[in-house]
Structure 1
Amino acid sequence: MSQASRLGAVRALANEAELSVGELAAKLSIPTNTMSTHLAILRDAGLLHARRDGRTVHYSLKPEALEELVVWLKKSA
């Protein structure tokens, strides 16, 4: 999570149940295609759930994955 945009996306999703790629891109003031790439990386890492609604993809956090991340971070600190 060393990339600021990915951390920003996780923070934004921590405050919302679900956001689309476009909504996250607007909140972080970055291009939609760039945000989509960051979200795919987080999804592939198992931190996000993706739900397709037509052409729009909505993302939400996977709380259980984040709990595992926190445990790992504490152990590696």
Structure 2
Amino acid sequence: MGQALPQHDVYQAIADPSRRRLLRLLTQGEQPLSALSGQFDMSRTAVSKHLRVLREAGLVTERRAGRETRYAFRPEPLAELKDWLAYFEQFWDNKLAMLKHLAETPDEEA
């Protein structure tokens, strides 16, 4: 039997700035809900809901450690996003090359 499909996709999960901030905090290592909640100006329940969306998208794991729930970052689902963004880098590279050319070309009309 295969893995269950995520209930939220990665794009939807990272669309919210609070969830992106949670991911950044979790890149520092596994943390309990209490520590994460202290970093936000929102209720612990709201932080927990954001973590649930991240977990359902596969970006976060949770485990019980005694009486607390600890969360950890899972970067693997971001590979899809990285691949998608990589396609668009060619357009930025083109624009930056054109800008460089314009900046380095002497102004003939001076």
Give your verdict on TM over 0.5: yes
Counterpart check, 1:12 vs 2:36: no
More strand by share: 1
Scaled by the length of structure 2, what TM-score is found?
0.60
The aligned length equals 75
Aligned counterparts of 1:29 and 1:22: Cα–Cα separation in 2: 13
1:53 to 59, 65, 72: 65
More helix by share: 1
Work out which of the two has the higher radius of gyration on C-alpha atoms and give 1 or 2. 2
- Secondary structure of the structure 2 residue equivalent to 1:58: strand
1:71 to 83, 90, 105: 83
Scaled by the length of structure 1, what TM-score is found?
0.81
Aligned counterparts of 1:13 and 1:71: Cα–Cα separation in 2: 22
% identical equivalent positions:
33
For 1:22-74, what per-residue CA distance to the aligned partner results, in whole angstroms no more than 9, with x for missing partners? 111111232110000000010001111111123311111112223333223x1
Structure 1 ranges of 4+ moved more than 4 A? none
